[in-house]
Structure 1
């Protein structure tokens, strides 16, 4: 395929030849008319007609070639656009696939995070309930401890009083035994007397 510069030079040459042919025809007519020769004018007219037809043919061929070149350029440009469009469509499809995969991954990650959050909230709610129950039990245990301590103090006081009473009673028993023993010891003497 010829380069655009080569085509321009060729066109210029063709058009230059056509102009030269028309100029030659005009010169022949211009030379023949002043001579007033019918034969020379007829030859000049036929020559002018032939040169004009040749120039027209060259110009027509140039015009057809220009149209073919323009059509070829448009076809090449259309093919380039088609190729570019196919590349863009492929790139767009790849980008769309990539973004859909990314969106799917993000949606999956979001779902997993929401599930993890739900589980964490459930565990936190359970832990809160267990903490509150333990706190209530601790409060109840503290209250029970205070009651038990009160009961223990009362029981200690009662124990101390009971021990004191036992001690007093033991002393009284000891005194009574001693008296009883003394009385028993004195009784055989009284019986003999």
Structure 2
């Protein structure tokens, strides 16, 4: 920028003098100074581009390292989650098996309880039948005892009559033999 300002001042000074030689020399110097300024600008642009490319390469390397770290973290996380998921699935399978076994035991217990209840009802009915039969047997036994007492009384009466008949037959035989 300084070179362009110097060239502009030189050209304006030469134009003011009005000399054709000064104007030509000032123009040549201005062209040389412009070329030098362009060369300097071009070098700065190239240096800036190189610095930017270096920065982009460093950023790319940093992103590559970061990506590698993230990939490693993701792999570790995936492995951890896979093992956790496998553990959970194994636990679920065990719990499902335990639940199925518990359902089977509960069904068996309900079935056995039903059978026991049915047996208890049958036993109660059988007990009622036996109670009725016992009551009937006791009534029959009481009737039989009564009948036995009546028969014993009747037997005693018949024996007494028989004894009386024998006594009378013996007295009659005695009277006949006498």
Matched residue, 1:132:
114
Task: Quote the offset at 1:186 in angstroms.
Answer: 8.1
* Residue in structure 2 matching 1:83, options 51, 65, 83: 65
Structure 2: runs of 5+ lacking an equivalent:
none
The CA distance in 2 between the partners of 1:129 and 1:185, in whole Å, is 80
Task: Quote the offset at 1:65 in angstroms.
Answer: 1.1
Alignment of 1:12-91 (within 5 A): 19-33=1-15, 34-36=17-19, 38=21, 40-41=22-23, 43-91=25-73
Task: Quote the offset at 1:62 in angstroms.
Answer: 0.7
Matched residue, 1:151:
133
Matched residue, 1:107:
89
The CA distance in 1 between the partners of 2:99 and 2:160, in whole Å, is 85
Is structure 2 residue 144 aligned with structure 1 residue 162?
Answer: yes
1:23 counterpart SS class: helix
C-alpha RMSD of matched pairs (Å): 2.9
**TM value normalised by structure 2:** 0.77
Matched residue, 1:14:
none
Alignment: residue pair count: 174
Q: Larger relative contact order (C-alpha < 8 A, sep ≥ 6)?
A: 1
The CA distance in 2 between the partners of 1:60 and 1:45, in whole Å, is 22
Q: How big is each residue's C-alpha offset from its partner over 1:107-157, in whole Å with a ceiling of 9 and x where there is no partner?
A: 222222221221111111111111111122112112211111111111101
Is structure 2 residue 98 aligned with structure 1 residue 116?
Answer: yes
Moved more, 167-176 or 140-149: 167-176
Task: Quote the offset at 1:82 in angstroms.
Answer: 2.3
**TM value normalised by structure 1:** 0.72
Structure 1: runs of 5+ lacking an equivalent:
1-18
